[in-house]
Amino acid sequence: MTNDKTLRIGLIGTGFMARAHTNAYKRVGDFFPDLEWKPRLKAVCARTPEKVRAFADQWGYESVETDWRTLAARADIDAVDICAPNDTHAEIALAAIAAGKMVLCEKPLARTVAEGAPMVEAVEEAGVKNTVWYNYRRVPSVTLAKQVIDSGKLGQIFHYRANFLQDWTISPDLPQGGEALWRLDVNAAGSGVTGDLLAHCIDTAMWLNGGIADVSAVTETFIKERVHQETGKVQAVGIDDACIFHCHFDNGSLGVFEATRYARGQKAGYTFEINGQHASIRWDLHDQNRLGFFDHGDDSIVRGWRSIHVSDGDQPYIDRWWVPGLCLGYEHTFVHHMADFLKSLETGEPCSPTFREALETQKVCEAVLDSAASRSWKETGVNW
């Protein structure tokens, strides 16, 4: 680590997430100028030389690598950011940690608890800074929800419900596997909507409402076979196209979660609602600048769900941006995450969600898949 508080980033991957993270690195200093630490785009890594070169040129990385092992070993890298498919997370992370690097890992932590547990062990033993990019915690409206809950406004929680609905895999002509569609390939992804979408819902849920104790789930694979892009053959689809589960939280509230890629008309339909004794909250990613809030304490004749446009300077992160009424977007969540990460370098505090927290989310995912497979309730073993 240089002593000038430059965080030299080595990014692995050139896909969607690589763009989102890189954008965060480039913007965080403009909008959070008071942070001591500044990221620097030291190197990007991907297998295809032309592709990684093009990415580096477009985004301004100083160098390229085609072997992540080389990148992870480079002395001029402080932090490795893993934006490669899920099946690579563990191996890369372990190598980076072994080389003493900080690790920022795209979610989910790994394909399984068995893969993820050693990652947690390793970062904790090595004492390296780590975080997993569950970005939706840092939508300002979601962060506001956390503040409102922590303030006690909701009282005892009775219900938590969350959905993450998409519709992009309905066509049977869509192949599986390959660079763009590895999320449909169970080997690369580990699971389908559970690891991809429910993992987000579970991370938010436990952050807002505490640990999930046990689950009862069902999964479905609507389209049983798809051409695999790597083999060119029609192969069985191993992922879950859809998953529903209900659960008990440690605090006694009931939860219900659903994710699918077969909900026509839903693009990124991540929604949640939390019902407490005194107040309730609801949220929809499609309208991420808003938070729904119902306060039973309001004068009864004018009581109603409030649609809070989260764009005022006293709301989370907003003072860094524009003026009231103006919208932020998806990418801001990553900027906020990076700002908090850089801040954690100053304070020495962990940057949540850490690998350890992400492993708890993984446990719930795994219990969900186990429950669905065995048609029975499963304890999660989560310790939140």
CA distance 55 to 346: 30
- Please identify, using beta-carbon distances, which residue of 186 and 308 lies nearer to a second copy: 308
Q: Counting contacts by CB under 8 A, is residue 75 touching a second copy?
A: no
Find the binding residues for a second copy in span 38-57 (CB under 8 A).
57
Q: Which stretch binds a second copy (CB under 8 A): 111-119, 261-269, 346-354, 358-366?
A: 261-269
Find the binding residues for a second copy in span 239-258 (CB under 8 A).
242, 244-246, 248, 252, 254, 256, 258
CA distance 180 to 96: 25
* Largest pairwise CA distance in the chain: 66
What is the distance of C-alpha 322 from the center of its chain?
Answer: 25
Q: Which stretch binds a second copy (CB under 8 A): 42-50, 75-83, 99-107, 371-379?
A: 371-379
Q: Which stretch binds a second copy (CB under 8 A): 74-82, 143-151, 182-190, 231-239?
A: 143-151
Q: How far is the CB of 367 from a second copy (least distance, A)?
A: 14
- Please identify, using beta-carbon distances, which residue of 47 and 306 lies nearer to a second copy: 306
CA distance 198 to 362: 10
**From 1, 6, 26, 63, residue interacting with a second copy (rule: CB under 8 A):** 26
Q: How far is the CB of 70 from a second copy (least distance, A)?
A: 25
Find the binding residues for a second copy in span 83-142 (CB under 8 A).
none
Which amino acid type is present at position 232? G
**From 4, 30, 50, 173, residue interacting with a second copy (rule: CB under 8 A):** 30
- Please identify, using beta-carbon distances, which residue of 240 and 340 lies nearer to a second copy: 240
Distances (CA, A) of 246 to 54, 297, 362: 45, 29, 16
Q: How far is the CB of 283 from a second copy (least distance, A)?
A: 13
Q: How far is the CB of 209 from a second copy (least distance, A)?
A: 14
CA distance 298 to 148: 15
Q: How far is the CB of 118 from a second copy (least distance, A)?
A: 31
Find the binding residues for a second copy in span 160-189 (CB under 8 A).
161, 163, 165-168, 170
Q: How far is the CB of 9 from a second copy (least distance, A)?
A: 15
- Please identify, using beta-carbon distances, which residue of 59 and 384 lies nearer to a second copy: 59
3-state secondary structure 320-365: HCCCCCCCCCCCHHHHHHHHHHHHHHHHCCCCCCCHHHHHHHHHHH
- Please identify, using beta-carbon distances, which residue of 233 and 264 lies nearer to a second copy: 264
CA distance 359 to 364: 9
Length of the chain: 384
Long-range CB contacts for residues 110-116, cutoff 8 Å, separation at least 24: 110/86, 110/190, 110/362, 111/86, 111/87, 111/189, 111/190, 111/191, 111/195, 112/190, 112/362, 112/366, 113/359, 113/362, 113/363, 113/366, 115/89, 115/90, 115/190, 116/90, 116/355, 116/358, 116/359, 116/362
Find the binding residues for a second copy in span 326-345 (CB under 8 A).
326-332
- Calculate helix-pair angle for 113-126, 355-374, nearest 10 degrees: 170
- Determine the size of the site formed for a second copy (CB under 8 A): 98
Find the binding residues for a second copy in span 274-313 (CB under 8 A).
275-280, 285-291, 293-296, 298, 300-309, 311-312
CA distance 73 to 77: 8
Site string for a second copy, 199-218 (x = CB under 8 A): -----------------xxx
Can you point out the beta strands (E) in 203-253?
Answer: 212-220, 225-227, 234-236, 242-249
**From 51, 53, 59, 379, residue interacting with a second copy (rule: CB under 8 A):** 59
Q: How far is the CB of 20 from a second copy (least distance, A)?
A: 7
Q: Counting contacts by CB under 8 A, is residue 220 touching a second copy?
A: yes
- Please identify, using beta-carbon distances, which residue of 246 and 343 lies nearer to a second copy: 246
